[in-house]
Homo-oligomer: A and B are copies of this chain.
Amino acid sequence: MVQAADSVAVRFRPVAAGTAVFSELCTSAFRWMLLARLLDEKFASLYRAGKIHGGVFLGRGQEALSVATALALRPGDVFAPLIRDAAGRLAFGDTALDAARTYLGSALGPMRGRDGNVHRGKPREGLLPMISHLGAMISVVNGILLARRLKGIQGTVGAASIGEGATSTGAFHEALNQAAIEKLPLVLVVANNHYAYSTPTSRQFACDSLVDKAAGYGVAGHRVDGTDLEACLKTLQHAADQARAGRGPQLVVAKLLRLCGHGEHDDAGYIDPKLKTSPVGRDCLKVAEEFLLQQRWADAATIAAWRKEKTHEVEEAVTAAQREPTPDPYEEDWTALSSGQLREGNE
């Protein structure tokens, strides 16, 4: 067993524990979804108003799956979100303020104006900052899990999100295979939203279901209706439990639809209207709301109050971020190296 000199893996904010009563988990999940949706909508409106530099990428329609992934995790776990993971990020411990700071380029945000939109993260706190190259984060999660094992830390789970399009990358394949060989507690969540940008699944893969891939890697496979919060919470919880119990990587494949463009510049005119009216086209937030009402875990007034509260939270975050300083090129430390003595002045 290896003892690392500095132990770094302390989660910065606890999420709802996996042991919570299911009703509480559901309502908590719903509230994160609501916050994510409202935050996304705010970014979209800022984008339309020309207030955001660069693109805006939303998780509309994917909040249930995303939040379920994060809520299956515990303090100390690791999460590598992707572009549609507004809800999961928040539930994992990211803040609306840091989201707003990153989109608005605040010098006080975690990326300090260096990186934008969905590329934020705090690696030391288990929240990995995605690079854009699809598939590239999964092996990084593997490395953290491997290191934990070497350090004798037990019970960590690492989750990584990916779209169905990214299953075509070599990086996805190498990483899932690596996790399988090492029997790592990786939960790899594939959101099959039927499109990769404009590309339909028929141009992306030829297997019946992406879950058919699991056997080829020797990992467990799970499928879930990504529009159904209840199903997502249960499936992800189960997958995380299995991983935590030492049963190796878990491949979770969810079916759903992105209810927005690839980015806010895209009207998504290519989406098959039939899909929109089919069950995968349901809005998971509405489905979750109806479920809560039906279960009587919340009434309409409560939900309205939550909405108001979250709207307020979003407004506050954005207002605060907008008041913050933007980065100053003259103050900027123009180096990519951490070792001061190795910096060159060359331009």
Whether, in the assembled complex, A275 has its beta carbon less than 8 Å from a beta carbon of chain B, the answer is no
CB of A208 to closest CB in B, whole Å: 7
Contact for A219 among B170, B204, B206, CB less than 8 A: B206
CB of A180 to closest CB in B, whole Å: 4
What 1/0 flags go to A157-173 for Cβ under 8 Å of B?
A: 00000000000111111
Interface of A is mostly: helix
Contacting pair B171 A170 (CB below 8 A): yes
Chain B residue numbers with a CB within 8 Å of A212 are: 215-216, 218
Bound Cα distance from A203 to B170, whole angstroms? 18
Q: How many residues of chain A are within 8 Å of chain B by beta carbon?
A: 27
Chain B residue numbers with a CB within 8 Å of A276 are: none
CB of A198 to closest CB in B, whole Å: 15
Contact for A216 among B171, B180, B203, B216, CB less than 8 A: B216
A171, closest chain B residue (CB): B170
Contacting pair B219 A216 (CB below 8 A): no
Whether, in the assembled complex, A217 has its beta carbon less than 8 Å from a beta carbon of chain B, the answer is yes
Contacting pair A181 B206 (CB below 8 A): yes
Contact for A215 among B171, B215, B218, B219, CB less than 8 A: B215
Bound Cα distance from A215 to B206, whole angstroms? 9
